[in-house]
Chains A and B, each alone.
Chain A
Amino acid sequence: MRTLGVISAIFVKDLRVEWRHRETLASMCIFGLLVVFLFNFAFEPAGEERLRLLPGLLWIAFAFAGVLGFNRSFAAERENAGLEGMRLAPVDPGAIYLGKMLANLFFMGIAEVVVVFATSLWYNFSFIPALGWFALTTFFCTLGYVAVGTTFGAVAANTRMREVMLPVLQFPVAVPIFIAGVEGTTGALKGDPVSDYAGWIKLAAGYSAIFVVLSYLLFEYVLEE
């Protein structure tokens, strides 16, 4: 119960801090929109071409928005050694991880909704027919991405070139999630039978479970000086 209380306190604290300065979410959304906007000029896809390009485009936007978000999330902690303040308390380091991860997941979710909405307008594409399976695919892939991003965000926060280190550390590990995301999104948006792309959703779900548990168990060593 106490662990849940700590997780919830950290989650609420991150939301409150973000509500007051709105830097993280704004930059994530703007960056994601910029990617979608520029691709619209570069490719101008129509018809079947959209189904070929949109999944990759979406996951490029999500990936880079995520990097911005994870860096900003720990920049706020670095300002006055907030993470050290949490470490001084008798709390499970894994609870600190889960609180930060849930906040990052929340912010990623909002940024993704904004990007998807903008994509549907700019590319004149409706996500409604495939919304259920598309949302499920995106959820599990985002969960896995945020699980990894939160851990590597904490690792990179203590390095000198943190803005560069985070994607360098994180992207190789996140490749399976990106592949699952693109393939699962393609299958959902095309309206393929679920059995054709269910394997990708299961991969994303399994990846997420593994990395959430691993990160929870190992976060103590990530935080250690």
Chain B
Amino acid sequence: MLSDTPRAKPALELRDVSKQFGDFQALSGVCLRVEPGDSILLYGPNGAGKTTLLRVLSTLARPSDGKVLYDGADVHANPTVAKAAIGFVSHATFLYGELTARENLEFAGKLFGLTKSPERVAGVLDIFHLQERAETPVRELSRGYQQRVSLARAFLHAPQFLLLDEPFTGLDAASTESLQDLMRSLQGQGKGLILSTHDFEQGRAIAQRLVALEGGKVRYDGPIHAAPLAALRKGARSQESEASSTALPEGGGISLAVGETYGRND
């Protein structure tokens, strides 16, 4: 008798992943499973490992230990399949300033092997409300619009998972709200969303699940409504104030290196 058990949706998974940069342990024994439809807030102070975790998930960085799996297979053994399923929005935009928004998206379309690239580009320009700015060189766009183009680029190949590394940085309130609406819409389409931020309120507006990172380790992974927020925030504040106190120069004054004692953003 044939089984009619439906095939499980392909998940993106970190299994006991550690990442080291020289002597610095950025991630330590992280286990995380993301399925299409999940919306995860990756929360933690500066230096917690959020960016590193997203870079490892996106295949840009290899773990020092452990495995990154997509649909049960190691992503580094067959990166093509995994990369087609992942879209990543980073601190960097991955855009070319001299090219227009449309040209950047068309270039990305060719990299991702989209056969109907012009139509797809027109579609995402519409989804992300970029039609009026489509022929403007990216370097002439505001930060908010550059972020939209970056998001459009990540979405262009219809990935199953979107990884967003502090996407609200540098945006005003109106742009933030607009971006949050877009993310809810993507989530509504069944995309797996991982959003990293050290601003809890911005992320809470979108996510259902919270993964709290501290010192490269997962402190909490569960529903956002059940998260011990006070303890997590206290931990985040004490880690940041500890970092800032060690970063103060002998003569006093304010250091800009809060949370960056190891010289890395995350």
A interface residues with partner B (beta carbon < 8 Å): 2, 5-6, 9, 13, 16-17, 20-21, 76, 79-82, 84-91, 224-225
Contact = CB atoms under 8 A, between A and B. Distances in A.
A80 B84 contact: no
A89 B83 contact: yes
B107 A80 contact: no
Q: Which of A80, A91, A225 counts the most B-chain CB atoms under 10 A from its CB?
A: A80
Given A6-B111, A86-B111, A16 B99 contact: yes
Given A2-B113, A224-B62, A81 B96 contact: no
B167 to A, nearest CB: 15
A87 B103 contact: no
Contacts of A84: 60, 90, 92, 94
A42 B117 CA distance: 56
Interface string B73-116: 00000011101101010101111111100010001101111000
B254 interface: no
A8 to B, nearest CB: 8
B60 A9 contact: no
Contacts, number: 73
B25 interface: no
A225 B107 CA distance: 23
Please report whether the interface of chain A is mostly helix, strand, loop or mixed according to DSSP.
helix
A69 B95 CA distance: 21
A21 B94 contact: no
A20 B98 contact: yes
Contact of A20 (B55, B62, B81, B99): B99
A6 B110 contact: yes
Interface of B: 55, 58-62, 79-81, 83-84, 86, 88, 90, 92-99, 103, 107-108, 110-113, 137, 153
Given A16-B103, A225-B61, A90 B79 contact: yes
Given A20-B98, A80-B97, A9 B86 contact: no
Contact of A17 (B60, B94, B99, B112): B99
Contacts of B153: 85
Given A2-B113, A81-B93, 11 more contacts: A6-B111, A17-B98, A20-B137, A76-B96, A80-B95, A85-B153, A87-B60, A88-B94, A89-B111, A90-B79, A90-B113
Q: Which of B55, B61, B94, B153 counts the most A-chain CB atoms under 10 A from its CB?
A: B94
Contacts of B103: 16
A225 B19 CA distance: 12
A224 B61 CA distance: 7
A166 B81 CA distance: 34
Top 10 nearest A-B pairs by Cβ distance? A85-B94, A81-B92, A89-B111, A20-B98, A9-B110, A90-B80, A90-B83, A225-B61, A17-B98, A90-B84
Nearest to B93: A80
Contacts of A79: 97
B98 A88 contact: no
Nearest to A19: B98
Q: Which of B79, B84, B96, B103 counts the most A-chain CB atoms under 10 A from its CB?
A: B96
A9 B111 contact: yes
Nearest to B157: A89
A80 B98 contact: no
B108 A21 contact: no
A9 B88 CA distance: 21
Contact of A5 (B59, B61, B110, B137): B110
A89 B104 CA distance: 14
A21 B137 CA distance: 12
Nearest to A1: B113
Contacts of A17: 96, 98-99
Nearest to B154: A88
A109 to B, nearest CB: 21
A60 B88 CA distance: 43
A81 B59 CA distance: 15
Given A85-B108, A86-B111, A90-B83, A225 B98 contact: no
